[in-house]
Amino acid sequence: MKPTCPGPTLGVVGGGQLGRMLAEAASPLGVDVVVLDPTPNCPASRVAEQVEGTFDDANAVRALAERADALTLEIELADPDVLEAAGAEYGVPVHPSPDALRTIRDKLVQNRAFEDAGVPVPEFVRVDDADDLADAVERFGGAAMLKARTGGYDGRGNLPVEAGDDYEAALDDVGAEEGGALAEELVPFEREVAVIGVRGDDEVRTFPLTETVHEAEIMRETVVPARTDDAVAERAREVARDALSVLDGRGTFGIELFEVEGGEVLLNEVAPRPHNSGHWTIEGATASQFEQHVRAVLGWPLAPAEARAPTVTTNLLGDVSEPREARLGGVERALSAPNAHLHWYGKREVRPLRKMGHVTLTDADSDAEDLLAEARDLREELTFDADHDASEGTPT
């Protein structure tokens, strides 16, 4: 698709925060965005047009394709068969390809595809019932990571399991009844890292290695440059490129990895879209992962994928015990800090541990450790707690 200004219209399946940030990145390029999402007035609807409908509603996807010059996605719940059919009916390219989505949306299929291609992954087995899980836990030395094959996100659908646990309850907890599960060895990693990889029409770019800090299986912070050595960073980019070679189609991919003892790197999972681990690129890189995704899916030239300066992000998660109207208190300090950038996702309701926004800090004169300490201090000031003085809050 030849670059023009004004540009084409991009249809996006999903209208959450990723769809919102995609639309924000597309606008300066002259690209209009239409999103498909079942939630009325979804976060992306503030900056893009919205088609209301579920991600697997064939008529809704057809309506999206009818209004778009290219189709992409920001959520793996998109139905690859429906996307493929709508794209063919309206002559609209779909990227990443429906085949890539078919591979990635089922974690067992994903692991097998990467293993067959020689990409290093943790040892894994298919789990269909409690007996299978018991065998897996014994095989992996008394503990395993149980994962739902489909539907998991933001740490949901993943559960560490040990010998003696209630295996039936564990399978229920991850939602395995919907599509089965797999168990992986618990990897004794040095740190979790990620590479944002971008495949264009005839080029591949990888952003610098990102260190990701998790708690209770949910990512809380990212640190760039990752606090590891150059050899590990290079090996991680090699594994990321090998993983990209397994998948068809253009776009931005979030590639999650483990750094293990001895400098080896194992592939954890891949997302066929921009990823939370790449939000730092909005302020911290020469072009964001979202701009790169727009360029890639349209077949336009990619921008350089280089860091401008040390950069840290901290996620703003719902610190509430039950759902309530979203109002963030304590934003004044974040807005006053000269090197901080507040991002609000536009969700009307805050729920326990729901991702509501993030703060990025970047500074060429600071190192990652100092920025991380500053980010944590800022995050302590930001709360959805109703008892907190929210007079400076940000209403939805």
Measured distance CA(314)–CA(311) in Å, rounded: 10
- Tell me how far apart the 2 most distant CA atoms of the chain are, in Å: 62
Find the length of the chain.
Answer: 396
Torsion 369-370-371-375 (CA) sign: positive
Determine if residue 184 is labeled as part of a ligand binding site.
yes
Determine if residue 147 is labeled as part of a ligand binding site.
yes
Residues near 278 by beta carbon (within 8 Å), at least 6 away in sequence: 194, 196, 207, 210, 252, 254, 288, 289
Measured distance CA(185)–CA(161) in Å, rounded: 10
Determine if residue 214 is labeled as part of a ligand binding site.
yes
Determine if residue 186 is labeled as part of a ligand binding site.
yes
Measured distance CA(317)–CA(383) in Å, rounded: 9
β-sheet with 70-73: strand ranges across: 49-52, 32-37, 9-13, 70-73
Residues near 122 by beta carbon (within 8 Å), at least 6 away in sequence: 145, 184, 185, 187, 258, 266, 268
Determine if residue 185 is labeled as part of a ligand binding site.
yes
DSSP helix/strand/coil, 173: helix
CB contact at 8 A, 147 and 107? yes
CB contact at 8 A, 182 and 144? no
Determine if residue 192 is labeled as part of a ligand binding site.
yes
Nearest CA to 77 out of 171, 158, 14 is that of 14
Determine if residue 268 is labeled as part of a ligand binding site.
yes
CA angle 382, 387, 388 (to 5 degrees): 30
CA angle 183, 186, 187 (to 5 degrees): 130
User: Residue positions in the annotated binding site for ATP?
Assistant: 107, 147, 184-187, 192, 214, 268-269
Annotated binding site: 107, 147, 184-187, 192, 214, 268-269
